[in-house]
Structures are given as structure tokens and as C-alpha cells.
Amino acid sequence: MTNNAAADTMVHSAMRRALELAARGPATGVNPRVGCVILNAQGDTVAEGWHRGAGSTHAEVDALSYLAPGVAHGSTVVVTLEPCNHVGRTGPCTQALIEAGVARVIYSVTDPGERSRGGADRLRAAGIDVQGGLWSIDGEAFLGDWLVAARLRRPFVTLKWASSLDGRAAAADGSSRWITGPESRHDVHRRRAAADAILVGTGTVLADDPALTARGLKGEQLERQPVPVVLGRRELPASAALRSHPQQPLLFDGRDLPGLLADLHERGLRSVFIEGGPTVASAFVAAGLVDEYLVYLAPTLIGGPRLAITDIGVTGIDEQRRLSVHSLDRLGDDVLIVARPHTT
């Protein structure tokens, strides 16, 4: 193996390790999960770091902190996201790398942030060799929801529904407990806990009185709870279960969905899990604001008018909302389809 080939292998291994380190950070909130590996001139790993959440040191600075002064001089820094170029709660990573005297920076994903981007250009201006796009497919997939939030200035929106094989979310009398089995319901609670917010309409609150909490197998509340968001203009009963939610509910009239999502983004919420009924679900679909669909299908037939999705603005077959299946999983007797909007 040539020296160049050996160096490339070490860099690729370092990026793989950086992604593993990034996964240790919190998967929710406004900050991305970032991992960093520093290699010396021989290609050996001399330091590792990752971002532990808002207000903590960024991955590059975290890795540098484990090195004595001067040790990072001439090193190669491998990081999952382009080093930031702005002052927030912490200083810019670009400045820290320049002051450390690193020779080369290799990153996976370009930072789309309005304030934080531009790090690569600043590093090049300081004489540092910079390469972007290494393992970009893996990096983009890893940072998927954060990238959507950063690029669109709104949370990543997941729409979930459970239905029979014939597309019904409830029986004719409105009853819907339970269409799917316990395995599917447990999966929903796991995904609730991974989201920053859970959203429903007032119709769901008044009809089902949901707690909107994330719960474990024994019904216990999980440590992390999404912020409940309710859309509608009807008053919620003082006895509503969600008023006892660990997080303060946010109430909106639901007339301006893009404005609602922008508001949630400003509050630091980067992912929204929609569990509203067909009216809320259809409104988000029609507005083109759904990034991911979770459809839990139960092997049963219900019939009747209670569809999971109603009018979404499709009048002809050429207007259909084409989706791409991301995954297909068996949960007990049910099937979970994860789909995303089709892109050409």
C-alpha cells in the first residue's frame, strides 16, 4: 500500500469514528450532533471529541482540549460538519483550529446555517488545506432532521397515523382503540420521546383526551417528554389530560402552518411529531410540510367514512403525492411503513 493510500485509509477510518462519536450527543434541540478526530502527521489518532449539547464546547474544541499546547500543530482534523464560523454561546471553531496550527481539515457535511457557515473559506484564507464532502451521504443521513431545520428554518415534520388495511383510522362511531397492536404502540412512544414536540388538533384532544406523553412498556412516563402543541380555536377543558403534561402545552389557532413551524423553530424545537386526526394531517400534507410519514398498518378491515387522510388537494392522478419508501418493518402483526416525499 502506498503512503497516499494508507493516509486515505486512515482518514476514512477517522471519519467513521467521528460519526460514531457524534452519535453520543443529544439527538434533539437546535444544535447538531458533531464528532471530531485529530490525526498526527503519521496518521495516528491523538484526540477525539464530540458536541454534548447547547452551551457546551463544540466537537473540534473538545478534541483540542485533550492536547497539550503545540501538539495539534501540523495535524489533520476530521470532523462530521464544516467547522462553524460564528460566535454563539461558544467561540468559532475556525479560530480555535487556526490558533492550534492545524495543517488540514476534512469534513463531511457543509454547514447550511446563515450565521455559522463559511468556516471552510476562513480556514483556507488562513492557509489550511480544507476538503469537504467526505462520506457526505452518511453525514447527510445522520444529520437529516437537523439539516432540514437548518436549511428551511422550521422543524423536521413527521406525520404518523395508524390505520386498517383499507385506510380507516377509526370505526364509524369514532372509536379507534386499538387498531394496532402493543408492539406498534410501543414504537410510537419511543418515537415520541425522540421528538422535540408532539402536535395534535383540538378535535383529537376533545374526542380522545390524550396525555400526549411518551411512556414505557409498563405505562411509566419516560425521562424525556416532547412539548405538546395543540392546533385549533376551541377551548380546552380544564380537566384535559394534557394539562398535566410535564411540558407546558403550546396553543395555536392553526390558520398559518408555515408561521406555526417558524415559531416552533424560534423556540429551539427542531423536530415535530404529528399525531393529529385526519383534518390536521391532511392540512400539513396539502401544504407540503411533511418530511417523513410513519404509517402503521394493522391486518384488519373497518370500512366506513373515517379515513386516515382526507382532502389534500389532489383532483387528478397526475397531482398525486408520490412518496419513496425508506423502510418497511414488521411490528407484531402490524407493518410500519416509513416513507418520505419523492425527489427526482
pLDDT grade, residue 87 (50/70/90)? low
DSSP state letters, 163-183? EETTSBSS-TTS--TTSS-HH
Helix (H, G, I), strand (E, B), or coil: what is residue 264? Answer: helix
Q: Which pTM was predicted?
A: 0.85
The answer to whether 83 and 97 are in contact (CB under 8 A) is: yes
The answer to whether residue 60 is catalytic is: yes
132 — alpha (psi -120 to 50), left (phi > 0) or beta?
beta
Identify the active-site residue in 48, 60, 275, 292. Answer: 60
pLDDT surpasses 60 at 2: no
Domains along the sequence of the chain with CATH: 3-149 (3.40.140.10), 155-341 (3.40.430.10)
Strands 76-81 and 45-50 turn out to be unpaired
Q: What is the pLDDT of residues 92-103, one digit of tens each?
A: 899 999 999 999
Give the CA distances from residue 303 to residues 91, 142, 161, 296, in Å, rounded to whole numbers and listed in that order.
59, 40, 16, 17
Average pLDDT, the chain: 91
Residue with cell 499546547: 69
Q: What is the pLDDT of residues 277-314, one digit of tens each?
A: 899 999 999 999 999 999 999 999 999 999 999 999 99
Q: What is the pLDDT of residues 143-185, one digit of tens each?
A: 988 998 888 999 999 999 999 999 999 989 888 888 999 999 9
Of residues 33, 24, 27, the one with CA closest to residue 108: 33
pLDDT surpasses 70 at 6: no
Helices (H) and strands (E) in the chain, counts: 10, 13
- Give the other-Cβ count within 10 Å of 227's Cβ: 21
The answer to whether 44 and 11 are in contact (CB under 8 A) is: no
pLDDT grade, residue 89 (50/70/90)? low
DSSP state letters, 9-64? HHHHHHHHHHHHHHTTS-SSSSSPP-EEEEE-TTS-EEEEEE--STTSPPHHHHHH
Q: What is the pLDDT of residues 191-237, one digit of tens each?
A: 999 999 999 999 888 888 888 999 988 889 888 899 999 999 888 88
What is the pLDDT, as a whole number, of residue 65? 95
β-bridge mates for residue 199, sequence order:
229, 274
Residues in the chain: 344
